[in-house]
């Protein structure tokens, strides 16, 4: 079954372009349009839509705020943001967006978003609105103007870079505009542990602890790499890290030699 979509943008030329490009997608059978969030809510109350393609910066209710309202719907449409601003991606995915497109809109990139909408509809899957509760959370990363989605379970460790964080995953390293402290809080229930003020590690990727003189490092298996990386462990985090590793009966920490014993 083809998609019925709602396009929302307060700038007429941008809205016309979005409607035109959506009309070129074979999966789209119907398109309605709205010039602001209030009009969009009126459309949503009168008709059912499979997806809403939504600008972020609009007068009155913003696109992010409108998406937040949609989370209260029993069967909300998939949300795809279409915006000229690249600094709202994290906010967008926190309200359950399926995709995040940057203007000027490219037809091939729009086709990818349509494919994601179709996949979400066919599987009955909708992104969680509470990221910490979603075991398959994806993180939007920007590279050369293209937004890609990195699955959290592909990330081995995270490094603080000022107010940013660098994600080390099986697709490489990616810089995102979100503090390490925020990720540590959001992902604490998903197997990530703060081991140092500058590092967050995925516990399933930990292969051991190693003593380096008076300090200790944690060995983390990097996805796609044969060798583990060694990251410093602060004294403040040492006991909690050991306790977590011991409590997990599925974890196998190598001991002996110059490897530290997690039982302390």
Domain boundaries, the chain: 3-129, 153-260
Beta bridge partner(s), residue 218: 209, 231
Q: What is the mean pLDDT of residues 143-150?
A: 65
Q: Out of 3.40.640.10, 2.30.110.10, 3.40.50.300, 3.40.50.2300, which CATH number does the structure's domain 3-129 have?
A: 3.40.50.2300
* Cβ atoms 192, 201 nearer than 8 A: yes
Residue, of 22 and 181, whose pLDDT is higher: 22
pLDDT score, position 252: 40
pLDDT score, position 260: 44
Q: Please, what is the end-to-end C-alpha distance for the chain in angstroms?
A: 59
The top-scoring range by mean pLDDT among 16-30, 54-68, 208-222 is 16-30
The top-scoring range by mean pLDDT among 117-126, 202-211, 248-257 is 202-211
Question: pTM of the entire structure?
Answer: 0.51
Q: What is the mean pLDDT of residues 44-49?
A: 89
Mean of the per-residue pLDDT values of the chain: 82
Query: pLDDT band for position 255 (50/70/90)?
Result: very low
Residue, of 195 and 130, whose pLDDT is higher: 195
pLDDT score, position 243: 79
Q: What is the mean pLDDT of residues 166-170?
A: 89
Q: Is the pLDDT of residue 262 over 80?
A: no
Q: Tens of pLDDT along 13-36?
A: 999 999 999 999 999 999 999 999
Lowest mean pLDDT among 71-85, 90-104, 123-137, 154-168: 123-137
Q: Is the pLDDT of residue 245 over 70?
A: yes
Q: Tens of pLDDT along 83-107?
A: 987 777 777 777 888 889 999 899 9
Q: Is the pLDDT of residue 261 over 60?
A: no
pLDDT score, position 61: 86
The CATH number of the structural domain formed by 153-260 is 2.40.50.1020
């Amino acid at each position: 079954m083809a998609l019925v979509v709602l396009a929302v943008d307060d700038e007429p030329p941008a809205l016309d372009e979005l409607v035109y490009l959506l009309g070129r997608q074979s999966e789209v059978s119907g398109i309605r349009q709205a010039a602001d969030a209030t009009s969009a809510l009126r459309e949503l109350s009168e008709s059912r839509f499979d997806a809403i393609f939504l600008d972020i910066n609009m007068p009155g209710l913003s696109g992010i705020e409108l998406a937040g309202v949609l989370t209260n719907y029993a069967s909300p449409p998939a949300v795809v943001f279409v915006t000229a601003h690249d600094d709202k991606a994290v906010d967008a995915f926190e309200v359950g967006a399926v995709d995040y497109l940057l203007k000027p809109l490219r037809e091939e990139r729009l086709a990818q978003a349509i494919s994601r909408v179709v996949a979400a509809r066919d599987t009955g899957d909708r992104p969680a609105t509470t990221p910490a509760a979603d075991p398959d959370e994806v993180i939007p990363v920007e590279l050369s103007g293209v937004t890609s989605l990195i699955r959290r379970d592909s990330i081995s460790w995270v490094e603080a870079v000022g107010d940013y964080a660098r994600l080390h995953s099986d697709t490489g390293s990616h810089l995102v505009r979100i503090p390490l402290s925020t990720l540590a809080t959001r992902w604490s229930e998903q197997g990530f542990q703060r081991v140092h003020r500058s590092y967050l590690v995925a516990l399933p990727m930990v292969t051991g602890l190693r003593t380096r003189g008076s300090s200790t490092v944690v060995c983390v298996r990097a996805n796609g790499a044969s060798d583990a990386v060694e990251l410093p462990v602060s004294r403040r985090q040492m006991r909690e890290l050991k306790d977590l590793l011991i409590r997990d009966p599925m974890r196998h920490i190598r001991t002996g030699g110059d490897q530290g014993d997690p039982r302390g």
